[in-house]
A and B are shown apart, each in its own frame.
Chain A
Amino acid sequence: MKRFILKRLVISLFLIWVVVTLNFFLFRILPGDPVRFLFNDPRMTQEVRQRLYASFGLDKPLPVQYGLYLLNSARGELGKSFVHLEPVAKIVGEKLVNTIILVGPATLFAIVLGSLLGVVMAYRRGTTTDTGILGMVLLFWATPTFWIGLLIIVAFLGVLPTSGMFAPGASYLPFSQKIGSLLTHLILPLGTLSLALTGQYAMIMRNTLIDILSEDFITTAKSRGFRDSYILRRHAVPNAMLPMTTIIAINIGLIMGGAVQTETVFSWPGIGRLMYDSILTRDYPVLQGSFLVMAVCMIMANFVADILYGFFDPRVRY
C-alpha cells in the first residue's frame, strides 16, 4: 500500500512539473513583444523598454528564466497582476476559497443525487422509469452549464440574488450576520452547478451498475435469499464505487469547467470568474496563475482519488 501511494505521489509531482513548464512556455510562444502587452504606450523610449525587460527578467537567457520560474512557482511566487498590481498568489488564494465554497457542496450534492438516479435507472433498466430518467439526465448533460445559469437567472430574477457572493456592503458585517447573505446568494449558483453535474454522475453510476448487476456474484447473492434492495446496497453499489471513483477523478476537469461557467454567469468571485475577468482585461499573470492553481488542484484531487480507490479495492492492497 505504501508503495502504491508513493508511486502515485511521484506521478502527481511529475504532472505538476509538466503543467508548470507548459505555463512557462505558453506565454513565451506569443508572437511579438511581451512587454507590449503590459504597456502599449507608443511614447515609450527604447531605454524604458530595456528597463522593463530587465525588471521582468526577460533579458536573461531562456534556461535561466525557466529555472527562476520553477523556483518561484515552488515558493508560491506567481508574479504580479498587470491590472491590480498585487501578487497573483494573493489574489488567486482569496478567490480559491470562494470557489471551494461553491464547488464543494455542489459536487457532493451532484454525486449523491446522481448516484441515486443512476442506481434507480440501472435497477429498473429498460422500463419506462429508466427511459424517463435517462432522457432527463441526457438533457441536462447536453445543456451547457452557463445556459442553465442564464435560464435560472431569468426565472428567479427578483426572487433570489443572482450575482455576487454577498449583498452589497454585507461583506463588512460580522460573520453571523453575513452568513445569511452568503447562503441566499449561494442558492442559485449552487443549484445551477449541481444540476449541471448531476447528469454526469447519474450516467456514470448507471453504466457502472449495469455492468456490475450482470456479474455472477449478484446472481449468487440472489440465490441465497437476499432482498434486491439489500443486494444493491451491500453488494452492487460498493463494487460500483471503484469505477465510479476512477471516472469521477478523470472528470474533475468538468467540475472546473462548470465552475468557470457558473461563476461567470453569477458573478461569483471565485477562481473561475477570475479567469474570465483576466481574459477580458488581458491580465496574463493572473490568467496563468489561476490556470496553474486549477491544474494543481485537479492533480491533487486525482491523487486523493487514487488513494481512495486503493481504500475501496482490496485487490490493490493485498
Chain B
Amino acid sequence: MHTGRWIKQNLSGLVGLLVLILFVVLSFFPQMAPHDPHRMDKDKILQAPSAEHLLGTDEVGRDILSLVIYGARISLLVGFFAAAISTLIGVTIGIFSGYYDRSWGQPLMRLTDVFLAVPQLPLMLVLAAVLGADILNVIVVIGCLLWTQIARIVRSYTLTLKERSFIERCHAIGCSNARIIWLHIFPNVLPLVFANAILLVASAIYYEVTVSFLGLGDPTHISWGMMLHYAFESAAILRQAYWYILPPGICIVLTVLSFTFIGRRLDEIVNPKLRRR
C-alpha cells in the first residue's frame, strides 16, 4: 500500500528519472545507433522517414536517428559540467556573502546584481563569439553566467543558519570561522543546493542548445542544437522536413523536462513551503 502511495506522490520525479536514465544510457552506448552518424550520402538528401532511416536523413544524407543518439552526449555533458561550475561558484559566493555579511557580503551582492542586470543569452553569445566556438568555452561561458540563482538561495539560507543558536555555541567554544563554515553551514546548505543544481542542469542544457542553434556551438561535435542550426541554415524548414526538426527538439524538451521534474520534486522535499498538503 505504502509503495503505491509513494510512487503516486513522486510520479513526476520518477518519470523524469527514467527518461534521464534512458538518455544517459544512450550517451554512453551510442554504438546502438543504426548508422554511422558522420556518413554522408549525397543520394539520400533530406529523405523522409523510411525503413532504413527511421527518422529520415539530413541535408547531407546523414541518418538523423544516429545523429540524435550521438547528440545526447554533448547536451548532457555540457549541461552537467556547466551546472557544476555554476553550482560551485554560486555556493561559494552564497556562503561567503551570507556568512561574512558585514564585510564581503555587500560587494558580493553588488557583483550578483551586475550579473543579474545583463541579459544572459546575449552576453553568452558575445562571450562565445569572442572566445571562439569550442565546447570548453561553451561550458565555461554558460557556467559563469548561471550561478546567481543558487548564490541568492545559499546566501539567504546562510543568513538564517548564522543566527541559529548552535552556531552561537560554536563561536562560544572557540571554533574558527573556517571550521564552522565547513562543518556546519556547508552540510546544511547541501540538500537545498542539490535540488537547485539539478534545475540548473535543465537551464544549462537549454542555453547550450540555444547557443548552438545560433551558430556558436562546437562544430566538431554532434549536438542537438547544432543539428537544428544546420536544419535552419540549410532551409530544411522550407522543405517542411519535419523529421529533421522534430526529433532533436523532442529530445531537448524531454531532457530539460526530466531534469526539471526531478529538480522540482527534490525541491519540494527539501523546501517545506512547497509541500502539498
> Do A and B touch (CB < 8 Å)?
yes
B237 within 8 A of A: yes
Dominant SS among interface residues on chain B: helix
A291 within 8 A of B: yes
CB of A150 within 8 A of CB of B126, answer: no
Q: How far is the CA of A227 from the CA of B117 in the complex (A)?
A: 41
CB 8 Å contact bits of A273-308 with B (1 = contact, 0 = none): 001100110100001101100110011001000000
CB of A256 within 8 A of CB of B122, answer: yes
CB of A150 within 8 A of CB of B276, answer: no
- Residue of A19, A141, A144, A275 near B118 (CB, 8 A) is A19
- A147-B228, A147-B249 in contact; A142/B118 too (CB < 8 A)? no
- Least CB separation from A158: chain B residue: B240
A316 within 8 A of B: no
- Least CB separation from A293: chain B residue: B122
CB of B213 within 8 A of CB of A142, answer: no
CB of A257 within 8 A of CB of B213, answer: no
Q: How far is the CA of A279 from the CA of B130 in the complex (A)?
A: 9
- Least CB separation from A297: chain B residue: B119
A138 within 8 A of B: yes
B121 within 8 A of A: yes
- A147-B228, A275-B122, A279-B129 in contact; A19/B117 too (CB < 8 A)? yes
- Residue of B213, B257, B276 near A146 (CB, 8 A) is B213
CB of A260 within 8 A of CB of B216, answer: no
CB 8 Å contact bits of B151-191 with A (1 = contact, 0 = none): 00000000000000000000000000000000000000000
- A139-B253, A287-B126, A294-B122 in contact; A257/B210 too (CB < 8 A)? yes
Question: Chain B, interface size: which category?
Answer: 35 or more
A226 within 8 A of B: no
- A138-B257, A150-B228 in contact; A144/B210 too (CB < 8 A)? yes
B114 within 8 A of A: yes
A18 within 8 A of B: yes
Residues of B within 8 A of A144 (CB): 206, 209-210, 213, 249, 252
Q: How far is the CA of A302 from the CA of B127 in the complex (A)?
A: 23
CB 8 Å contact bits of B200-215 with A (1 = contact, 0 = none): 0010001001100111
B120 within 8 A of A: yes
CB of A150 within 8 A of CB of B237, answer: yes
Stretch at the interface among A24-32, A111-119, A166-174, A178-186: A24-32
- Residue of B117, B214, B242, B276 near A261 (CB, 8 A) is B214
Residues of B within 8 A of A302 (CB): 117
CB of A298 within 8 A of CB of B228, answer: no
Q: How far is the CA of A150 from the CA of B239 in the complex (A)?
A: 12
A250 within 8 A of B: yes
Q: How many whole Å from B56's CB to the nearest CB in chain A? A: 14
B78 within 8 A of A: no
Q: How far is the CA of A302 from the CA of B119 in the complex (A)?
A: 11
- B65-111 residues with Cβ-Cβ distance < 8 A to A are none
- Least CB separation from A253: chain B residue: B119
CB of B125 within 8 A of CB of A260, answer: yes
Residues of A within 8 A of B129 (CB): 279, 282, 287
Residues of A within 8 A of B214 (CB): 146, 260-261, 264, 276, 279
CB of A299 within 8 A of CB of B245, answer: no
A122 within 8 A of B: no
CB of A154 within 8 A of CB of B257, answer: no
A102 within 8 A of B: no
- Least CB separation from A299: chain B residue: B117
- Least CB separation from B210: chain A residue: A144
14 further contact pairs, Cβ within 8 A, besides A257-B210, A275-B125, A295-B117: A18-B117, A19-B118, A26-B127, A143-B256, A144-B210, A145-B210, A147-B252, A151-B246, A253-B121, A257-B120, A261-B214, A282-B129, A288-B126, A295-B118
CB-defined A-B contacts under 8 Å, sample of 19: A15-B117, A26-B127, A139-B257, A142-B206, A143-B249, A144-B210, A146-B210, A147-B245, A151-B245, A211-B273, A257-B119, A257-B120, A275-B122, A291-B122, A291-B123, A291-B126, A294-B122, A295-B118, A298-B118
The 3 closest A-B pairs by CB, nearest first: A257-B121, A253-B119, A256-B119
